[in-house]
Amino acid sequence: MNTAAANITRIDRRRLLAAAGASVGAIALAPPGAMWAAESDGIDLRPLTESVVPIDMTEREARLDRARALMAQNDIDAIVIEPGSSLDYFTGVQWRRSERLTAALIPVEGTPVIVTPFFERPSVAESLGIEAEIQVWQEDESPIALIARQLRSWKHDPARIGIEETVRFFAADGLAAALPGARLVSADPVVRACRMRKTAAEIALMQMASNVTMAAYAWTVPQIRTGMTNLEISHLMSSATTALGGKPEFSMVLIDEAAAYPHGTGKPQVVRENSTVLFDCGCTVAGYQSDISRTVFHGKPDPDALATWHLVRQGQDTAFAAAGLGVPAGTVDDAVRALYEAKGLGPGYRLPGLSHRTGHGIGMDGHEPVNLVHGEPTLLAPGMCFSNEPGIYKPGRFGVRQEDCFHMTETGPKWFTIPPDEPGALIGTA
């Protein structure tokens, strides 16, 4: 097993504060006159990620074995994957998409093949993390024809070719024309089935990403002061995340009315006395992401906003309690909506209330299948990871979102970060 799984554990309150250079008392919002200076240059934070061990070849070979078993179960002869997180997941290749096709071909039996332009071969090979053959095509040649020849070399008449869900139309359509006797099918029963069930090594990297984000919150939140814009606060959060060893993915900050719109607005936003400030932030560590939201109050909170904060926390606890092994993912969302509707919100996805799903899958991508959304039939199983973010939004006034991710264990759900019990705290106690 990847040694990172043994070395990285959930960050506790004291370690979080030590990493952020804060005292235990500083995690609560200080009064405006005591705010720290918002100096993002020369941040004095220590990286948390120096001991992280990335996913290794042994882990990827186990993924390929799992994929081959699923391909055999689903009568799929090979799968085709373009650059992106799934290519990285199976092969380690970290590459970008362009009009020049690069793709991985993974057969049910045999050695995987990477197809790429001739002049890109050395660059693509740099990150290759498995035993694989690299085949190249020249500028005056067709990569689709090369892929078709390779598929025929494994099986003269390939019957079913799995296409990863993000492969572009021109590639799938071209392959269908080049292999008229083959049937192109979804590779979801293979790719999704592998990626949805995280291993201990993956969980460990997601835990470290969460640790970094929480430490960045502990450094950033006490620096909020009257007159700051959302963009200034966002810059502080991103700078802290970088200093702590994470790669910022998003550091969204929404103030007052803007927080009533889950993904914000382009209108100017400024912190005022007694403002509601909603953060939604995440980072990547060794290819795996965090996604954590916090709603804090600058000064004395609006009584309705404060009551809403506590109801959202109740919503999180309701979702967590509903996330049992073997239950359909959609029932987690249903449990939260039943709570909110009993409080006069909604109904369903109507406002004021919870206008989006309760949570989404997370891993190498910030949003992955499957979602905690009404009607989702997928049964919860060990290794699945989700956000838990049942926000409440009141258009024209404010929004409150608290978001913490959890993963399913053999005994049920377990938090990556423990939600706080009061808005003056950023993390709860076990």
Q: 295: domain CATH number?
A: 3.90.230.10
pLDDT of amino acid 323: 98
Same domain, 171 and 312: no
pLDDT digits (tens, 9 = 90+) for 205-255: 999 999 999 999 999 999 999 999 999 999 999 999 999 999 999 999 999
Same domain, 182 and 214: no
Q: Where are the alpha helices (DSSP H) in 264-364?
A: 303-322, 330-342
Same domain, 153 and 221: no
Examine residue 422 and state whether it is found in any structural domain, yes or no.
Answer: no
Same domain, 160 and 304: no
What stretches in the chain show pLDDT beneath 70? 1-42, 430
Same domain, 302 and 401: yes
CA–CA gap between residue 302 and residue 356 (Å, rounded):
24
The count of domains in the chain is: 2
Same domain, 96 and 242: no
The last residue of a domain, from among 186, 213, 229? 186
Examine residue 191 and state whether it is found in any structural domain, yes or no.
Answer: no
CA distances from 106 to 81, 92, 137, 390 (A): 8, 13, 18, 39
pLDDT of amino acid 11: 46
pLDDT digits (tens, 9 = 90+) for 279-332: 999 999 999 999 999 999 999 999 999 999 999 999 999 999 999 999 999 999
160 lies in which domain range?
Answer: 77-186
Q: Which residues contact 149 (CB under 8 A, 6 or more apart)?
A: none
pLDDT of amino acid 41: 52
Same domain, 82 and 224: no
Same domain, 205 and 313: yes
Examine residue 429 and state whether it is found in any structural domain, yes or no.
Answer: no
Same domain, 136 and 259: no
The last residue of a domain, from among 123, 151, 186? 186
CA distances from 117 to 73, 100, 122, 149 (A): 33, 7, 10, 16
Same domain, 180 and 219: no
Amino acid identity at 190: V
Q: 133: domain CATH number?
A: 3.40.350.10
Examine residue 71 and state whether it is found in any structural domain, yes or no.
Answer: no
Examine residue 338 and state whether it is found in any structural domain, yes or no.
Answer: yes
Examine residue 62 and state whether it is found in any structural domain, yes or no.
Answer: no
Measured from the Cβ of residue 356, the count of other Cβ atoms closer than 10 Å reads: 17
Same domain, 237 and 328: yes
Which of 173, 174, 159 shows the shortest CA–CA distance to 78?
A: 159
Bond before 303 cis per omega within 30 degrees: no
Task: Please tell me the pTM assigned to this model.
Answer: 0.91
The last residue of a domain, from among 118, 151, 186? 186
CA max distance for the chain: 75
Token match 């936003």: residue? 269
Examine residue 236 and state whether it is found in any structural domain, yes or no.
Answer: yes
Same domain, 179 and 213: no
Examine residue 117 and state whether it is found in any structural domain, yes or no.
Answer: yes
